[in-house]
Chains A and B, each alone.
Chain A
Amino acid sequence: MSLFKMAIGNIKKCIRDYVVYFFTLILGVAIFYVFNSLGDQSIICEMAESDSEIIKLTLFLLEVISVGVAFVLGFLILYANHFLIRRRKKEFGIYMILGMGKRDISRILISETVLVGTVSLAAGLLVGVFLSQFVSILTGKFFEADMSIYRFTISADAIVKTVVNFAVMYLIVILFHSVIISKYKLVDLLSAQKKTERQLLKNPVISICIFLVAAVMLFMAYYRVGFCPNELGRNELIAHIISGTVATILLFWSLSGFLIYFLSKQTKLYYKNLNSFIIRQFCNSINTSAISMAIICLMLFMTICTFGTGFSLAHQMQENIRNLTPVDFSIIYDKPQKVSEVLKNEGLNVEQWAEKGIVEVPVYSLETVTYKASMGTAYQAAREQFPYADFDSMEVVMGLSDYNTLASLYGLKTLSMSNNEYMIVCDFKLFSQIRNEAMADGTMINVGSLALKPAMSECVNGYIYMTGTSVNSGVVIVPDELIDNAGSKLKLTGYVMAGNYAATAKDERKVIDEKLIQVTEKYTEIDYTSKDLLISMILGTKLSIRRSNNGLTMMSAFVVIYVGVVFLVASAALLSLKALSESIDSMGRYTILKKMGSDDGILKKALFAQIGVYFGLPMVVAVIHSVIGLRFAEYAMVTYMKEGVFWGVCVTLVVMVVLYGGYMVATYNGSKQIVKLDE
């Protein structure tokens, strides 16, 4: 029998060990191909043309991430091989006794790796090619791209890249094998199975102490990061991340001793059915793999957080953008000249290209109405939160009916108030929190000789010109009388104009957009002498905002999915391999239980419990970590995520259940075969 035939035979024999490994390889190859082929997908090409910068950046970012991904997958493959090969020591011993040299054994292993590698690469690429079609269609649908240009695309570039990448990985595996084989001694190989793994029995007192220390460390970190993030400095945050990591490792290290100590005291529970066996079995597993479980837990934690925030961010961006771009364009001009006049001078007579119902209203400012003044009692808090903001600069002031005209065009709530009152329109969450405080306190503002009191105890959600995000830090709305009254000393600072285009065809609208952009660029002068770095003309158009937003959303979604899925697959595969080898170690134990007369049903339950806890525990700890992590993310990204991370968490859960759960079920089935409970 040739060595190659032996290799095929070997793979067939241990197919049950290889299933998880093989599946992971195929998935790894497919994911790698999908994200590297995105640049060549027709729909994404089309999207890139209309908004090249951000998509180019995305593709570049994906390429950078691919390097990291390659490392993660490479590590995974090496680790898996380390596992698979360790279990075959006895087999190698027998080969050597029969007179086979180490070189021949190496050759068998090389054949096996080449075989597994080629098949998985081919299968992975096939899966990847189809998956990438699916991804690009989905992307196109999501971003309302022109679907007529869709073509079935195979990216030769990505194929070459994937093949080279994985070929290098397999080559490293082969080298790794030969090094390991060359170090083996025959006597060790033959006695490999006789060596019972010594359990590191832990002193219960030490275990409990360390467990408590870990718990306290975790709670401290949880409390600081999750419940008072605003007091957290950069260094403290890093310190908490480090202490959280250390605490997680200590937690897993001490858990088995701790659990055994307490559970074995619960006689009723412990000595019921096979409970004592299951608990021991599980504690034995975490005992021997505490560190890797902790690492897997941390990886899962990162996955959940990336997925959770990433998806929420993407979802929120899409959602926000619809609300934030109610009309085709808005322009704010910081000079006391009407925007329509400027445009007319530039040959863009509003009547020629805009729909009827264009709104153009003036904005003012006033010496006495500064941020500091309008924030009143909340000023100190604001100062602390934004130490670099200039609170002495003047607020933007607008008349009530002017605002209402604009608001009804935007579809925002219109306002009403009495003559001695004011209101603030603001949609920047961090600012509105501060302003709400000030208004609840009844902070008065002085306009001329008149003192105005807040009409409501909180500010109104809204804006006066379109931007991609909710960053309106505040516009003070005053009664109309004050606008016309010279005594109020209001200074006209500029105009806001907004409305829709008359044209309906996409191309025509694009042309107008372009012309407007040209004009804005011409009139935008950055005044470096002013403290505010005043930009004098700001244009926001539906087309451009939505487009750049699409790009941003796509970027965050792709990056998140790529990183998240790879991390998830890597950790699930690691756990699965560990659990399978654990099952091989417990083969004998299940045989004993069977001989003692345990029913197969009960044994299956025991095995399921064992594997369930094996997968569940790192996940549970990771989820608890993530609750805190996501709370912090919600705080840190409050500007972008008004609705919080709920949506992202939902998607994350679905992905987790499918991938992680899939690995768990596969592991359970594999283990059932190993301990011979599958009849």
Chain B
Amino acid sequence: MSTVLEVTNVEKYYGTKASLTKALDNISLSVEEGEFVGIMGASGSGKTTLLNCISTIDRVTGGGILINGKNITDLRGKSLNQFRRDELGFVFQEFNLLDTMTAYENIALALSIQKIPADKIRERVNDISKKLAITEVLEKYPYQMSGGQKQRVACARAVVTNPKLILADEPTGALDSKAARMLLESFRTLNRELSATILMVTHDAFTASYASRIIFIKDGKVFTEVKRETDESKKAFFNRIIQVVSLLGGEMDELV
């Protein structure tokens, strides 16, 4: 298995010399192909900054990020946009669907942006919709869908382009528990059947328990890492996560 993501000694500073905030403090981690990795941490721990840096939305102060062997910190302008649309897929907390377009069109747009020929679009959209069980909402507009459906459409839009890496930022944050479970099942399906590589940021232990490995971040550094054993039950894995969370202390306690 090859390494999809390699983060080495990444630093991200905010503010002036007088009052410097180290959002990311010499952090290093890596994600293998086909892995489903969760990143947990309290608010202010730097997890969103990390995700933004990986997703090329934000720039690092120092260090390197290699995606599929390519150092993305060197990319600028057009090649950066191209990289983002060809290699990455995004799922956001607020769905970020275009409200003027139907579910189908939303998913198809990701392919149009990649300049995929129009005749190949339908097949690919239909395929992914079946896997994520959203075939019946394809002709609906976002405001006609439930939150869970919206998030699965967003998910379909993120993976339909076959990205190297799917980045999910609090994907269950705006969902009720049932919808959250359905979405996470979808993630697992994508991970297992399409061997999609997923990096998910969350502060919710239940959501995190769907991942195969969890990296805990505190004060911009890797605090610890928990890996799910091959025969470990989800319940047991969840309990181990909770233990780490209580070790982390602080705000995380309240959020469990």
Question: Is the CB of B247 closer than 8 A to any CB of chain A?
Answer: no
Q: Which of A275, A283, A595, A597 touches B86 (beta carbons < 8 Å)?
A: A597
Chain A residue at minimum C-beta to C-beta distance from B108: A271
Q: Which of B90, B99, B111 touches A595 (beta carbons < 8 Å)?
A: B90
A269→B97 CA distance, assembly (Å): 22
Question: Is the CB of A270 closer than 8 A to any CB of chain B?
Answer: yes
A592→B85 CA distance, assembly (Å): 12
Contact of B96 with A274 in the complex, beta carbons under 8 Å: no
Contact of A597 with B112 in the complex, beta carbons under 8 Å: no
Question: Is the CB of A506 closer than 8 A to any CB of chain B?
Answer: no
Within 8 Å CB of B83, what residues of A? 597
A196→B150 CA distance, assembly (Å): 15
Contact of B112 with A275 in the complex, beta carbons under 8 Å: yes
Within 8 Å CB of B92, what residues of A? 595
Instruction: Evaluate whether A596 and B90 lie within 8 angstroms (CB atoms) in the complex, with A268-B118, A272-B118, A274-B112 already known.
Output: yes
Chain A 6-26 interface 0/1 with B at a Cβ cutoff of 8 Å (1 = within):
000000000000000000000
Within 8 Å CB of B111, what residues of A? 271
Within 8 Å CB of A274, what residues of B? 109, 112-113
Contact of B115 with A273 in the complex, beta carbons under 8 Å: yes
A277→B102 CA distance, assembly (Å): 10
A61→B115 CA distance, assembly (Å): 60
Chain A residue at minimum C-beta to C-beta distance from B96: A592
CB within 8 Å of A: which B94-128 residues: 96-101, 105, 108-113, 115, 118-119, 121-122
Q: Which of B81, B84, B100, B115 touches A199 (beta carbons < 8 Å)?
A: B100
Contact of A199 with B101 in the complex, beta carbons under 8 Å: no
Contact of A196 with B112 in the complex, beta carbons under 8 Å: no
Instruction: Evaluate whether A272 and B84 lie within 8 angstroms (CB atoms) in the complex, with A280-B100, A589-B98, A592-B96 already known.
Output: no
Within 8 Å CB of B235, what residues of A? none
Contact of A599 with B81 in the complex, beta carbons under 8 Å: yes
Instruction: Evaluate whether A277 and B81 lie within 8 angstroms (CB atoms) in the complex, with A196-B143, A592-B96, A595-B90 already known.
Output: no
Q: Which of A268, A272, A589, A599 touches B99 (beta carbons < 8 Å)?
A: A589
Contact of A196 with B99 in the complex, beta carbons under 8 Å: yes
Question: Is the CB of B238 closer than 8 A to any CB of chain A?
Answer: no
Give the Cβ gap from B108 to chain A, nearest Cβ, in Å. Answer: 6
Give the Cβ gap from B82 to chain A, nearest Cβ, in Å. Answer: 7
A333→B57 CA distance, assembly (Å): 92
Contact of B113 with A598 in the complex, beta carbons under 8 Å: yes
Within 8 Å CB of B109, what residues of A? 274, 276-277, 596
Contact of A198 with B143 in the complex, beta carbons under 8 Å: yes
Chain A residue at minimum C-beta to C-beta distance from B89: A596
A11→B157 CA distance, assembly (Å): 40
Question: Is the CB of A408 closer than 8 A to any CB of chain B?
Answer: no
Interface centre among A201, A264, A274, A597 (most CB of B within 10 A): A597
Contact of B100 with A598 in the complex, beta carbons under 8 Å: no
Question: Is the CB of A284 closer than 8 A to any CB of chain B?
Answer: yes
Chain A residue at minimum C-beta to C-beta distance from B158: A596
Instruction: Evaluate whether A597 and B88 lie within 8 angstroms (CB atoms) in the complex, with A276-B105, A276-B109, A276-B112 already known.
Output: yes
Within 8 Å CB of B81, what residues of A? 597-600
Interface centre among B97, B98, B143 (most CB of A within 10 A): B98
Give the Cβ gap from B212 to chain A, nearest Cβ, in Å. Answer: 26
Chain B 135-152 interface 0/1 with A at a Cβ cutoff of 8 Å (1 = within):
000000101000000000
Question: Is the CB of B178 closer than 8 A to any CB of chain A?
Answer: no
Give the Cβ gap from A146 to chain B, nearest Cβ, in Å. Answer: 62
Within 8 Å CB of B86, what residues of A? 597
Contact of A598 with B85 in the complex, beta carbons under 8 Å: yes
Contact of A273 with B119 in the complex, beta carbons under 8 Å: no
Question: Is the CB of A267 closer than 8 A to any CB of chain B?
Answer: yes
Give the Cβ gap from B97 to chain A, nearest Cβ, in Å. Answer: 8
CB within 8 Å of B: which A153-207 residues: 196, 198-199, 201
Instruction: Evaluate whether A596 and B105 lie within 8 angstroms (CB atoms) in the complex, with A196-B99, A277-B98 already known.
Output: no
Within 8 Å CB of A198, what residues of B? 143
A276→B113 CA distance, assembly (Å): 10
Chain A residue at minimum C-beta to C-beta distance from B90: A595
Chain A 262-299 interface 0/1 with B at a Cβ cutoff of 8 Å (1 = within):
00100111111111110011011000000000000000
Contact of B82 with A276 in the complex, beta carbons under 8 Å: no
Within 8 Å CB of B90, what residues of A? 595-596
Contact of B108 with A280 in the complex, beta carbons under 8 Å: no
A271→B108 CA distance, assembly (Å): 7
Give the Cβ gap from B123 to chain A, nearest Cβ, in Å. Answer: 12
A276→B86 CA distance, assembly (Å): 19
Within 8 Å CB of B17, what residues of A? none
Within 8 Å CB of A277, what residues of B? 98, 100-101, 109
A589→B99 CA distance, assembly (Å): 8
Q: Which of A283, A595, A599 touches B57 (beta carbons < 8 Å)?
A: A595
Contact of B100 with A596 in the complex, beta carbons under 8 Å: no
A198→B143 CA distance, assembly (Å): 8
Within 8 Å CB of A201, what residues of B? 141
Within 8 Å CB of B78, what residues of A? 599
A196→B98 CA distance, assembly (Å): 12
Within 8 Å CB of B88, what residues of A? 597
Contact of B105 with A280 in the complex, beta carbons under 8 Å: yes
A276→B101 CA distance, assembly (Å): 8
Instruction: Evaluate whether A281 and B82 lie within 8 angstroms (CB atoms) in the complex, with A196-B143, A596-B110 already known.
Output: no
Contact of A596 with B108 in the complex, beta carbons under 8 Å: no
Contact of B113 with A596 in the complex, beta carbons under 8 Å: yes
Contact of B100 with A284 in the complex, beta carbons under 8 Å: yes
Q: Which of B97, B112, B122 touches A272 (beta carbons < 8 Å)?
A: B112
Q: Which of A199, A593, A599 touches B141 (beta carbons < 8 Å)?
A: A199
Chain B residue at minimum C-beta to C-beta distance from A270: B118
Contact of A597 with B84 in the complex, beta carbons under 8 Å: yes
Chain A residue at minimum C-beta to C-beta distance from B98: A589
Give the Cβ gap from B135 to chain A, nearest Cβ, in Å. Answer: 18
Contact of B112 with A271 in the complex, beta carbons under 8 Å: yes
A486→B48 CA distance, assembly (Å): 114
Contact of A597 with B82 in the complex, beta carbons under 8 Å: yes
The 5 closest A-B pairs by CB, nearest first: A597-B85, A597-B84, A271-B118, A280-B100, A284-B100
> Could you list 19 A-B pairs, sorted by A, with CB under 8 Å?
A196-B99, A199-B100, A274-B113, A275-B112, A276-B105, A276-B109, A277-B98, A284-B100, A589-B98, A592-B96, A592-B98, A593-B98, A593-B113, A595-B57, A595-B84, A596-B85, A596-B90, A598-B85, A599-B78
Residues of A in contact with B (beta carbons under 8 Å apart): 196, 198-199, 201, 264, 267-277, 280-281, 283-284, 588-589, 591-593, 595-600
Residues of B in contact with A (beta carbons under 8 Å apart): 55, 57, 78, 81-86, 88, 90, 92, 96-101, 105, 108-113, 115, 118-119, 121-122, 141, 143, 157
